[in-house]
Amino acid sequence: MRPLVRPLALAAALAFGSLVMTVDAQTAPVPVPMTAPDSTLLSVASQAEARRAPDIASVSAGVVTQAADANTSLRENADRMAKVIAAIRAAGVADRDVQTAGVNLNPQYRYAENQPPAITGYQASNNVNVTVRDIAKLGKILDALVATGANQINGPTFDIDQKEPVYDEARRAALEKARARAEMYAKTLGVRVRRIVSIDESGGATIPRPIPMMAMAKMARDEATPISPGENVLSVNLNVVFELGK
């Protein structure tokens, strides 16, 4: 039986060694791309923007009601909110673009010196977030919300529905700027740009700040509340590593 010990020990050692090699392979760092001995690596940071007029807007609308008892406050709030939702749908806003943001019911207190707080009534609130895909109708929609019972409006926040094509425009511009800068460095050094070794991207969108719509609603007379969508700026930042050499 003794001759079987060594094969079993060898098999165990091989299995253990194989396991160690697998773990090491999984935790090994990603190798740096190989470059020629006479090459130089150049890292260039580049930023570019693409501008578009926004084509969608988001606005928050709500109803706040107060009553002596909780049931009355919540019931009155529901009645008024139903009219607001009906006005939103009548304006052509799809159901998928209307989302309840919160329903709240809170007691209201009266505070007096040396006395415990006393409940004087209840306040109910209901808020919905609305996405408007036809910005030209936004002013009339806001007016309709206020006319049907909304007494809280915040926004709008303007955005671009399909961002990727706009980001691609910014990416191409940023890459062209990075390559032009690399060519300048290469020419100054008397070498050429051989290739791009790596590209690292970070990006973000600059969106106009929300406009205080309640203040704008007070400006409205016979015409719809004025809306100025302006322009959205989408930016991309690249860090591009080039290989330079003869």
- Whole-structure pTM value: 0.69
Beta bridge partner(s), residue 192: 245
Beta bridge partner(s), residue 127: 62, 102
pLDDT digits (tens, 9 = 90+) for 144-191: 999 999 999 998 999 999 999 999 999 999 999 999 999 999 999 999
CB-count exposure of residue 115 (10 Å: 0-12, 13-18, 19+): exposed
pLDDT digits (tens, 9 = 90+) for 204-236: 656 454 444 443 444 444 578 888 898 999 999
Enter the DSSP assignment of 137. Answer: G
Pairwise CA distance, residues 105 & 123, whole Å? 6
- Higher-pLDDT residue of 65 and 207 is 65
Enter the DSSP assignment of 116. Answer: -
pLDDT digits (tens, 9 = 90+) for 111-143: 988 888 899 999 999 999 999 999 999 999 999
C-alpha distances in angstroms, 21 versus 10, 16, 26? 16, 9, 9
- Higher-pLDDT residue of 16 and 82 is 82
